[in-house]
Structure 1
């Protein structure tokens, strides 16, 4: 069985380099073009299931890539909340929350921005969502599934699929691309990273 992983298309806050985790932002024109580019690359495939988060940007990406499919919302795949930092750039955060910013830069997995979700609870939530998807494809004997997610979510899934220590920040899912993993003999195997 093949799992296709796609990051949602660009939003205006991506362009502005702002933290926006749980903010429900729409795709911009660039994001729609990126999604159409992926749709063109995957047009020869049919998906038995398409999984998205509960946020508009994944729904809009899914509508462009797999318009004929029903899109199953998995809220556990929502991006990590950054609390009061959402909507702010790194410079704005550093100016308004200098101590918290420095602490987070030094220990991003252990320090949590004000009113934000902890990294450990975020990771547990995403993996719980993936277990729901695994139960689905196990019961339904699916061939191809599509997961449209957020960068943080896809990094968590990538580490889970690889079952080895990979630097979280070096895992890159560029918008307008896709990655394919095969699930075979109870293990995930990287098949392709399409740039």
Structure 2
């Protein structure tokens, strides 16, 4: 049976990451330090060889794809945009700690809705549909290795939601420019709606380095 590898990689460091701000849909770029880090990672460690790159529409992800996979065919996938933080956008945890809506959102877990933002359940449906569409496209195009350049919140919740082994989202927190390789088979996905979390990206790099997640359901411009 043919197996398909998808390499989920978080975008490069942004100023919002450095400041600890909740930035979901704001189209902030990779900062200068982040670009330098991406080039160092690319030149020092081994990123997987891929036949196609799928990318979040946000600039920080498209910039990351250009650094890590400059010569690869790239397809923008709206489903892989970051969680919409609504009224919390641009704020830090310190600024929000006394906000009652924020407290309810945190204690409500993934099913909660951010005021003016996205419902957690709908977010999960969106990213699962996104990985389904990628898998279908890979089978159709006979692509067996592809990269998805996206956000930490997408990676954490997607792997926790339908990945094996089963772990909490925080266990799949990744640093900028880092990620996980998942392995999918038609039988495993169509029958069980799950995939195997297989390896870390890039080879030889510590996966937890520069992770930005603070909580299973709270992701800072991931």
Give the alignment's TM-score, normalised by structure 2: 0.79
Q: What is the number of residues matched between the two proteins?
A: 192
SS where residue 186 of structure 1 aligns?
helix
Q: Against the structure 1 CA distance between its residues 65 and 177, is the aligned structure 2 distance closer, same or farther, given a 3 Å change threshold?
A: same
Per-residue CA deviations over 1:144-173 (Å, capped at 9, x if unaligned) read 101111011111321245256421233211
Q: Is the 8 A contact 1:38 1:178 kept in 2?
A: no
CA RMSD of aligned residues (A): 1.9
Please state if 1:74 is matched with 2:81.
Answer: no
Q: Which residue of 2 aligns with 1:112?
A: 113
Q: Is the 8 A contact 1:47 1:146 kept in 2?
A: yes
CA distance in 1, matches of 2:90, 2:102: 15
Per-residue CA deviations over 1:107-153 (Å, capped at 9, x if unaligned) read 13233221010001111111111111011111122121011110111
Q: Is the 8 A contact 2:159 2:197 kept in 1?
A: no
Q: Against the structure 1 CA distance between its residues 91 and 108, is the aligned structure 2 distance closer, same or farther, given a 3 Å change threshold?
A: same
Please state if 1:122 is matched with 2:129.
Answer: no
Please state if 1:172 is matched with 2:173.
Answer: yes
Deviation of the 1:92 alpha carbon: 1.4
Deviation of the 1:27 alpha carbon: 0.3
Please state if 1:190 is matched with 2:190.
Answer: no
CA distance in 2, matches of 1:76, 1:130: 8
Q: Which residue of 1 aligns with 2:38?
A: 35
Structure 1: which 5+ residue stretches go unaligned? none
